Structure 1
């Protein structure tokens, strides 16, 4: 489920970003991102068996608020899956100078998860909605469909709150609280995750924890860059 070898998809993506970065290929609204983290955490749970991850993505944003993109990272669940490939699209905008909104859909794919066991395929999708009041964001993600191997994702609800503050020039403090609840048909314990991070110039230092049994506080170091293409 979503909870080492770097896949071929990532170096191929980086090569694509290099090609698109030339002036002749510039596209209005198209951007890219490349990142590294010491531990890929998703809703407080490691997706890489507490190991490092390299990721990259492509995004398109139109002036009318529509956006779409894709993102890839290596994962390690101690099975066939070696990478995650996400696709998403949505619409966002400003209600006024202090309030903005975001609505969309995201599909989490693990293309090689069922290479040796066809019942181990666990792709799943979510619809999401968020609203930002100044520096505070409230969001909800809801599972809308899933493969047989991702029964936990069906009707699962993740609600989160994030607050962001500039504590010094270029230095941002982020506070996070999330609650993950699962449908009664799936035998899994609901849990809460929380974290604090500091970011500057693409670098992020973070402390993350959950209320899951036998889970320890995790410290991560990440670096990401964005590129206009």
Structure 2
């Protein structure tokens, strides 16, 4: 071995050692936060905020084993607009589950989600409390995801609707330069009532440092399927399921 080879080998060994020392070990858990605002809070295609802006935020705990817990909240209007109910201006979601990868292409996620509406009196409107519990499972193949959610309680205050289900099909396409395009279609089956379809096409821009903005076309086939627009007493004739543009901004930290 000549001098050049010896020096090269020594350099490679030192570089590898330095890289190994510089690589930080995976933390046992991560804790992240997010805050945001949207021009209209849509859930499964239906406006939850009477087509008005909503403030939102959440906290997420993720363990390296795959288990996670989190909470997320948003201002809402739909309970107050459901006369004679007049209390329930906030939605708080509490969730936990487990996610993992099967291989490089497939991953899955299972969990439990509680929708909680503090101090709500929606029972005055329908005879059933708005608080809802669902279990869910999702399977992802590369950029495609299929998710099914099953209601263990009556669904958002609809009487005798326990056992309702929601199928969510979506995909995420990286367009480069921080842009992501996400098409979505979903079917909400409300036990004892019927099934409607919702759709969304979302363009998201990641500006880095945790800041994102999005623009989405969101809507449902409620009016064409059931023959009448989705309205509430407090929102007048506003069609809460009509396709419209939703703008959002979110900061993750």
Cα distance in 2 for residues equivalent to 1:35 and 1:139: 24
Q: Is the deviation greater in 74-83 or in 111-120?
A: 111-120
CA distance in 1, matches of 2:179, 2:156: 43
**1:111 match:** 118
CA deviation after TM superposition for structure 1 residue 217, in Å: 1.3
In structure 2, do the counterparts of structure 1 residues 148 and 103 end up closer, same or farther at CA, with 3 Å as the change threshold?
A: closer
Of 221, 224, 245, which aligns to 1:219?
245
Paired residues of 2:148 and 2:165 also in contact (CA < 8 A):
yes
CA contact (8 A) 1:113 1:120 kept: no
2:77 and 2:89 in contact (8 A); partners too: yes
Pairing 1:199–2:204 present: yes
Q: How far 1:147 sits from its partner (Å)?
A: 8.2
Question: How big is each residue's C-alpha offset from its partner over 1:180-206, in whole Å with a ceiling of 9 and x where there is no partner?
Answer: 1122xx3x2310011111001210100
Q: Report the CA distance between 1:28 and its aligned residue.
A: 4.1
The answer as to whether partners of 1:123 and 1:150 remain within 8 angstroms in 2 is: no
Tell me the residue number matched to 1:125. 133
How far, CA to CA, are the matches of 2:141 and 2:156 in structure 1?
A: 38
CA distance in 2, matches of 1:130, 1:43: 16
CA displacement, residues 45-67 of structure 1 (integer Å, 9 cap, x when unaligned)? 00001110001111100000000
Alpha-carbon spacing, 1:75–1:100, altered in 2? closer, same or farther (3 Å):
same
Task: Give the unaligned 5+ runs of structure 2.
Answer: 1-27, 207-211, 224-228, 230-240
Corresponding residue to 2:145 among 126, 133, 137:
137
Residue matched to 2:62? 61
Structure 1 residue 101: Cα displacement: 0.3
**Paired residue secondary structure (1:145):** coil
Match status 1:189 vs 2:194: yes
- Contact 1:110-1:121 within 8 A present in 2 as well: no
Give the TM-score normalised by structure 2.
0.73
Alpha carbons of structure 1 residues 162 and 148: separation in structure 2 relative to 1, 3 Å: closer
Aligned to 1:177: 185
Structure 1 alignment gaps of length 5 or more: 1-26
Deviations 1:135-159 (A, max 9, x none): 0000000001248934365111100
Query: How much does 1:122 deviate?
Result: 1.2
1:80-116 per-position Cα deviation (integer Å, ceiling 9, x unaligned): 2100011000000110011110000000011121189
1:209 aligns with 2:219: yes
| Distance 1:158-1:174 versus aligned 2 partners, 3 A rule | same
Bigger radius of gyration: 2
